Amino acid sequence: MAYDKFISLKSTMVPLPIENVDTDQIIPARFLKATKREGFGDNLFRDWRYNPDNTPKEDFVLNNSVYSGKILVGGRNFGSGSSREHAACAIYDYGFRCVVSSFFADIFKNNAINMGILPVQVSPGFLDEIFSIIEKDPSSELEVSLTDQTITILSTGSRENFEMNSYKKNNLMNGFDDIDYLQSMKSEILEFAKTRAI
């Protein structure tokens, strides 16, 4: 899918200080029945966000108007479990463009980048710093620069670098995707296929 370019982002944050947030929480399997990539944001964190009678659970962060923004900050091992891209899709569709955690599950990380979401892995200490800043002042902002590969807490100036390989960085900054790249090397792939007795 072609997506918006990601160069930098300055935003308030939504904190979710829970570890091992799995993709079944991000979007439960019963909401995977669409044949289009639309509307998943409504069911983001469905069972944490709504009661069985569909009334909002007031203690869940997405239902707390104090918190908002384009950056979701999650605990360690964010996105574990199923390969469902719908999880990244729901996060994007809800309006997030960046997820910050101290550790991401592999498949989720790939899916996020393929959706145009920037996953930013920070140190555990920096993650704690972010959570405590939000707790003190929910209007605190983060600035994420993909160009410089830095993440900065604006109120304190505290900053970390994050990793991103130059291929994926180029894709995100230009809104390219892997399918464009693969299509451009189709003859090379066809030649290679001849060597595989499949």
Partner 1 sequence: MSFDQKTLFDKVWDAHVVRKIEDGPDVFFIDRHFIHEVTSPVAFLGLESRGIDVIFPEHTFATADHNTPTINQHLPVQDPLSANQLKALEQNSAKYGISHWGLGNPKNGIVHVVGPENGITLPGMTIVCGDSHTSTHGAFGAIAFGIGTSEVEMVLSSQCIMQPKPKKMRINVNGTLGKAVTPKDVTLYIISKLTTAGATGYFVEYAGDVFEKMSMEGRMTVCNMSIEMGARGGMIAPDQITFDYIKGREMAPKGDAWVSSLANWKSLKTDEGAKFDKEYYFVASDIEPMITYGTNPGMGMGISQLIPKASDLSGGTATYDKSLAYMGFDEEDRMIGKKVDYVFIGSCTNGRIEDFRAFASVIKGRKKADHVTAWIVPGSHIVEEQIKAEGILDILTEAGFLLRQPGCSACLAMNDDKVPPGKYAVSTSNRNFEGRQGPGSRTMLASPLVAAAAAVTGYVTDPRELIQ
Least separation in angstroms between CB 63 and partner 1: 17
The number of residues making up the chain comes to 198
Beta 150-153 vs 141-145: how paired, if at all?
Answer: antiparallel
- CB-side neighbour CA atoms (13 Å) of 187: 0
Dmax (CA) of the chain: 61
Paired with 147 in beta bridges are none
d(CA 94, CA 40): 8
Binding marks (x or -) toward partner 1, 152..171, rule CB under 8 A? Answer: -------------xxxx---
129 near partner 1, rule: CB under 8 A: no
C-alpha separations of 122 from 55, 140, 159 in Å: 35, 17, 10
Binds partner 1 (CB under 8 A): choice among 115, 117, 120, 142: 115
Q: By CB under 8 A, name the one of 4, 19, 42, 135 that touches partner 1.
A: 19
SS3 state at 149: coil
Using the contact rule CB under 8 A, the part of the chain among 28-36, 60-68, 90-98, 141-149 near partner 1 is 28-36
Residue 25 in the binding site for partner 1 (CB under 8 A):
yes
- Residue with smaller CB distance to partner 1, 139 or 180: 180
Q: Is residue 194 near partner 1 by the rule CB under 8 A?
A: no
Whose Cβ is closer to partner 1: residue 30's or residue 136's?
Answer: 30
Pick the closest to residue 108 from 43, 36, 179, 27 (CA basis): 27
Residues near partner 1 (CB under 8 A): 1, 17-20, 22, 24-25, 28-30, 32-37, 47, 52, 75-77, 80-86, 88, 103-107, 110-111, 114-115, 165-168, 177-179, 181-183, 185-186, 188-189, 192-193, 196, 198
